[in-house]
Amino acid sequence: MLEKVNHIAIAVPDLSKAILNYKNTFNCKISKPLKLLDHGVTTAFISLQNTNIELLEPLGKNSPIRRFLERNNNGGIHHICYEVKDINLSIKNLIKNNCKILGDGIPREGAHGKPVIFIHPSNFNGTLIELEQT
């Protein structure tokens, strides 16, 4: 059911600072910041050969990563995104296995314009998991 790791997401308090830090230190290619109003975050992607790193900055008062940054002032690893071929089949399996899907459980458009869902961290050893249909 799980294919590749699409990205590992890191929450940051200041996106432009984080971008500069990765650029200057590692000479990374980083996408332009993208505001995702639906998700309450601004994202920028670092492309690596085998996966991507998503830098996340809170957008708006009700951003889901605000609380995370209150607990982790300097930022930290926030979620892992796995690719799946069929997100609706994945949702069926998750429900069958008593996993809690965040929000209304309906896939929303993610940072790549593809449907995504998030699984509650309590289901997978404290790790917030995003599934993205490829």
Contact residues toward Co ion (CB under 5 A) are 9, 54, 81, 130
Written as six digits, the tokens of 16 are 């432009």
Rounded least distance, CB 9 to Co ion, Å:
4
Comparison of 37 and 96: residue with beta carbon closer to Co ion: 37
Instruction: At 78, give phi and psi (nearest 5°).
Output: -105, -45
Residue partners of 106: CB distance under 8 A and separation at least 6: 117
Q: Is 132 known to be catalytic? A: no
Q: Which of 70, 83, 109, 130 is catalytic?
A: 130
Question: Shortest Cβ distance from residue 19 to Co ion (Å)?
Answer: 16
Nearer to Co ion, 83 or 99 (CB): 83
Q: Min. distance of Cβ 73 from Co ion in angstroms?
A: 21
**CA 84 to CA 62: how far, in whole Å?**
28
* Structure tokens, 34: 């993208």
